[in-house]
Amino acid sequence: MEEKKSIPIKAILYISVWVIIWGTLGSLIDYPLYKNKIYVEGSIYQYLTFTVTAIISIISAKFFYKKIDL
């Protein structure tokens, strides 16, 4: 009888934490830009802000994943 592979809870939690980090970092960068009217809500620059922070977050997550043995 074959054993079922367990869901890698640690990996799911790791990804979830990085999504939270990405959203928080993106929002912290976005808020002053939006409040100082550097760009308006929903503009391409706001999307660009979150895209760049997502790329930074993905690179950071991969870097730290290699350091952490999950």
Q: What's the pTM value of the predicted model, to 2 decimals?
A: 0.76
* Whether pLDDT at 3 is above 70: no
Percent of the chain at pLDDT above 70? 89
CA 38, 45, 40, 17 dihedral sign is negative
- Amino acid at the residue 40: V
Best CA proximity match to 57, nearest among 25, 32, 30: 25
Provide the pLDDT confidence category of residue 19 given band limits of 50, 70 and 90. Answer: very high
Best CA proximity match to 15, nearest among 66, 61, 68: 61
Distance of alpha carbon 17 from alpha carbon 70, whole angstroms = 14
* Whether pLDDT at 60 is above 90: yes
Distance of alpha carbon 51 from alpha carbon 57, whole angstroms = 10
* Whether pLDDT at 35 is above 90: yes
Domain boundaries, the chain: 11-67
